[in-house]
Structure 1
């Protein structure tokens, strides 16, 4: 690598004595991290198994120069950093120390209590909340309600690590403007941990969702909303609904297999058939559900959703004209 590209790599981010490591082997141990980093200096703290796939970590050196020497070494080395044969990507963290905050009421749990400031209950849909938070990992359940504090949501993740990576990234931030109605000027998220560990959701509705239980009944009011013909801005009826969805997948950085699609789409109901094909140089898939209602909930929830974090393999969904796929194999 030439010196100029090396310098550019080093200074695009503000150096920090905390390094952020990505693409680690799953369930990577603290010992493995220390082994990788100790040639460059003394490690004072680590935080392992962070992120949706538990394949990221933070490592804090005692001194800033030690962190800089590790980043510089791998920026200019022909051999990448590796743990268990996997290439590890190293960058400066935007935090300057690893804090394991344990103040009361702040004990990490797998359920987040999110207060959405500056909005009315109808301004932010449950689909928007799902889209924002599922960037960090699989969201099991969401319940929304109005309290004196404002519009709030409980969001249940698999574990406290995933919940805390979502909280660290989103607390104090706003939901992106393009996901909000035009009249909302600002919308801040205030996030703390809830004492709940498992939300009790009776049925799927515009107020609550359980993404782990496809057989949960849909609240009749939510059903009526789904079954009405949708009228577009031009006053024309939009595409008729169908039990088969057509998915176009953009930004294909990773292979998308039938198994991958099955695990994504079966969160909403039984997937009967899947067909993947190439069209116009892009990858598309047909996904068949037993009924229109299930397909409609899946379409609403997954539109614009990325299968992999980082914006990879983004789904765009429409209803197919098919109602029963003829899958040979």
Structure 2
């Protein structure tokens, strides 16, 4: 069953849950509107509105699993899609079995998130990957990573609690995309809670900590390199692990370099899926994602050390 827009309204392969995940809701949809849509199918015990970067998603928890199943089944077979304020709403089972109240004891919303990255060791997930994932929800001020008994963790500071909440709601329980992880990592789940910190104290830019608000912060060279033993190539030089994501540092910056400029340059070698730009140590950097490792390797070989503009301005 597809909606009139051509998008699938349901995912049949999901495990049923008494919590339903609703997408494509109108802006600032209210709890009352959600209850009105869902109450014909059973008792609603909890809701969570305005989730996600665009605040157009929500979760609804029924008191009984069969009630959630009946709602999904009804709209899967109905010629009329679920709608709120005339917008078609896409419904699927949540990967959670209950809605956890963000304001529970010891979990008061703040602007700093405590992220536990399960299934990995320090060094498996770089700080640049963490920055890329969480920057989708707003400006990341600072990141500090460390190892605890609970595993590899990171503190991530946003501008405000609202931005942090949108990142937490969207990413808690999810996995970092597979293409951003080393090949030997098969599973990597994020467990996210709020930290009591409000402003992280970052002393150095390194592979363990970054302050994206202070380009003049000193760099710790040994920390940037990390403590892992490098892989050596046949020529005895350090060999970088291959990836379909390139990290481009733009030097000798004389003209503006935008996402469009980077897309134009890197698209010459293959389809560019994603681009993320950020400032680091006073310079401009970009993460450029291709569909495969081979295309990324060709682009790296062709572009490294070359100029974007005639006259020698802006080198990679």
Q: Does structure 2 retain, via aligned residues, the 8 Å contact 1:272–1:289?
A: no
Indicate the residue corresponding to 1:179 in structure 2: 181
The answer as to 2:305 corresponding to 1:324 is no
**Structure 1: unaligned runs, 5 residues or longer:** 3-8, 246-269, 307-314
The C-alpha deviation readout for 1:210-244, integer Å capped at 9, x for no partner, is 34x3x622534459969xxx998454899996449
Q: Determine the C-alpha separation between the residues in 1 that align with 2:276 and 2:172.
A: 35
Q: Which runs of 5+ in 2 are unaligned?
A: 3-9, 241-245, 312-316
- CA separation of 1:124 and 1:60: change in aligned 2, threshold 3 A: closer
Does residue 1:165 correspond to 2:169, yes or no? yes
Q: CA RMSD, aligned part only?
A: 5.0
Asked if the contact 1:24/1:86 (under 8 Å) is kept, the reply is: yes
User: How many corresponding residue pairs?
Assistant: 276
Task: Provide, for residues 186-210 of structure 1, a one-character-per-residue CA deviation record: whole Å limited to 9, x for no partner.
Answer: 9886654210123344554323223
Which digits, 9 at most, give the CA deviation of each residue in 1:51-92, with x for residues without a partner? 333222111223333322321222123332233343221011
SS in 1 for 2:61: strand
Name the TM-score, length of structure 2 as normaliser. Answer: 0.62
In the alignment, which residue of structure 2 is the partner of 1:249? none
Is the partner of 2:173 in helix, strand or coil? helix
Distance change in 2, residues 1:31/1:179 (3 Å): same
Would the aligned equivalents of 1:272 and 1:288 in 2 still touch at CA under 8 Å? no
Task: Give me the TM-score of the superposition, normalised by structure 1.
Answer: 0.60
Matched, 1:294 2:293: no
Distance 1:119 1:98, change over 3 A: closer
- Asked if 1 retains the 8 angstrom alpha-carbon contact of 2:50 and 2:58, the reply is yes
Which stretch has the larger CA shift, 278-287 or 17-26? Answer: 278-287
Q: How does 1:29-68 map to 2 (within 5 A)?
A: 29-68=30-69
Specify whether residues 10 and 86 from structure 1 end up closer, same or farther in structure 2 by C-alpha distance, changes over 3 A only: closer
Secondary structure of residue in 1 paired with 2:55: coil
